Every structure is written in structure tokens, then in C-alpha cells.
Amino acid sequence: MEDVSPIRFDYHALPSRVLFGAGRRRETPEVARQLGCTLPLIVCTPEQQVLADAIASLFAGSSTHIFSEAAMHTPWDVTSRALMVAREVRADCLIAVGGGSAIGLAKALALRTGLPQIALPTTYAGSEVTPIIGETQDGEKRTRRTLDVLPEAVIYDVELTLTLPARLSATSGLNAIAHAVEALYSVDANPVTSIMAEQGIAALAAALPEILANPASHDARSHAQYGAWLCGTCLGSVGMALHHKVCHVLGGTFDLPHADTHAIMLAHVVAYQAGAAPHAMRRIARALGADDAWTGLQALAARLHVPQSLAEIRMPHEGIGRAAELVLQETYANPRTPDYQSIRAMLERAWRGTAPQPDPL
């Protein structure tokens, strides 16, 4: 009989409640009540003010307040203003309405106030089911993992995603896929998250092209949201690796759009990892129905018409060297040990939009 190593792994389920289904945003006041909340502070970006008003209208009287200045990468100056508002209105819980910007701000507030959170995501970013926060101060983005920022409840209402533009749906969905991709070669990967990761990639890869063709499709939107939940749960359950480090550096240092950066870098980083994580590459390729993981991801990105190069999103070429240096600081656990020259070469390819290339190890 073939010698088979015994299965050994750790899996930690995160303590949060998920409500999934069309129209379930209307249950927000009851969820808040169950958390003992009567004076919620709703946080959103300026673009989501109307939606925040609609959620506020579900509550009786004038018990809610809205802070609508959430911004990408959770800048500290925005967080400090929101903290002042939360204290002034004596908020007893936080409701994030929107994508990663709103959810990130709610997490930053929860970290400093201990207030419970309810998240109503409108994108596929997945941060609503993670104990991870990334904050930017003095031009540098830092992340940490703590249960203190994990939302107590998440309400997935497909109707909240119907107005997400097709292009943003595509980049947000690729951002979600990145969580699952890295979960498959994470240092603490386990059978549970690996199953979720492969299913999440497959669900999003099937749904996103349909959303591009028919943005009003409830079915495609629902499957994309399901895939995003699976991928986000992977992000929250195991550690991420090089791709997330690269994107945090690029986004925090050069103020690049978060989802676009993930969408552009994903195939390049996967190609970079290929020789060091062959089992993960096979599972990614299988989920995509492709011969290779990186070519499948690149083909999906091209099919979704997302930006193909860092130059398109105004990453300065002269910043490549600095980015490579920052990637090597406080590195994440990774199947391949990164070095300056190979990281710089990968970033150069991504800046120019040339094809991803697996490097010989």
C-alpha cells in the first residue's frame, strides 16, 4: 500500500452571523435590536449616501446618524473624524453600508470603541467576514488581524448589488477571487477552506461574465455574492501571502484603486508562485476550467475588460523600485521566498501589461 501521510490541520470557525437572501436588508433594525443597539451610526462613502438614508429610514424616529466620508484604504484622518461623530451622538453600534471603504471604516471605529458592527456589503470584496483591518497613515498602509474588528452580523442582500456597475463588479469579483487563490497556498491552509476556495473561484468565474452581459441578472448577482462570501471567509480564516502584500504596498503607497490593483496583479503573482505551489495551481486551474492557473486568471480578466496594467491606473513607473523594497519589508508567509530582483521584474511586467511569466526556481 502506498505510504500516505496522516491528515493534520487547524481550522478556526469565526464567530459571526450571516443572513443571505434578497430583501434581507429590511431585517437590519431587528438584527440591531438583537445586538442591544438603539442608536446606530451608519457609515458609507459619499456615493452611497442615498442607500445609507434608505437603511436609516428602516429605523423608528431619528435614532440613527450617518457618517458619509468613508474612503479607500481607511485613512487615519477620516477615522479620527468619524470617531468624534460616534462619540458625539453616543452611538451604540455601527452599520457599514457599501464596499471595502465603508466596512474598513466601521472596523477602525470598532477597534477603538468596542462597538458591535452590522455589515451590508454592496460589492464582492469580502472584508465583511474577516477579522482583518488595513489602515493608512503617513502614506503607508498597515494591516493586522484581530477579532475585535470582525462584524457581529453580515446581511447579504443581492438587491444591494444590482446597481454596482459591471466594471466595478468585475474588479471587485477578481479581488474576491484573490482571497481564495491565496488561501489555497497559505501556510495554514486546511481542507475546509480549500474546498470553499475552489468553490468560490468557480462561482465567481461563472457569474462575473454573465453580470457583464446582463448586469440586472438576479441569478448571476446572487451566485457572485455567494462566491464572494466563500472567498471572504477564506480570507478571514487563513493567512494571506505575497499577492496581498504587493497590493497593500501599491494601494497604500501610491493611492491606487484597491480592486483594480488586485485584478491587475493576480495573474502575475500566481505565475510567480507557480513552481512553489503546484497543488494550489492545479485547483485554481480546475476551478477556472483552464490549462494553467495564471493563464486562466489572465483570460478571465481580459474577458471582463478590467485594466491590464498598473500604468493604466496611474502607478508611476519610477515607483517600481520603491514598491519592490516595501514588499520585502515585514513579508507575509509565502510558498516562494521573494527577492528584490524577481519582485521588481514581476512589477515591471504588471506595469507594462505584458503576459504573466512563471519564473524558474
pLDDT in tens, 84-97: 999 999 999 999 99
Residue 293 has a pLDDT of: 98
The CATH H-level superfamily of 166-352 is Dehydroquinate synthase-like - alpha domain (1.20.1090.10)
Give pLDDT, residue 13.
Answer: 81
User: Is 50 exceeded by the pLDDT of residue 173?
Assistant: yes
Q: Are 111 and 134 in contact (CB under 8 A)?
A: no
Query: CA torsion sign, 131 to 136 to 142 to 148?
Result: negative
Does the pLDDT value for residue 2 go beyond 50? no
Q: Give 147's pLDDT tier (boundaries 50, 70, 90).
A: very high
pLDDT of 25: 98
353 CB-near residues (< 8 Å, 6+ apart): 308, 309, 311, 312
What average pLDDT score do residues 328-341 get? 94
Cell of 213: 452581459
pLDDT digits (tens, 9 = 90+) for 24-76: 999 999 999 999 999 999 999 999 999 999 999 999 877 899 999 999 989 99
Q: CATH for 17-161?
A: 3.40.50.1970
Q: Where in the chain are the domains?
A: 17-161, 166-352
Percent of the chain with pLDDT over 70: 98
pLDDT at 176 over 70: yes
Model confidence at 139, in pLDDT bands (50, 70, 90)? confident
pTM of the model: 0.90
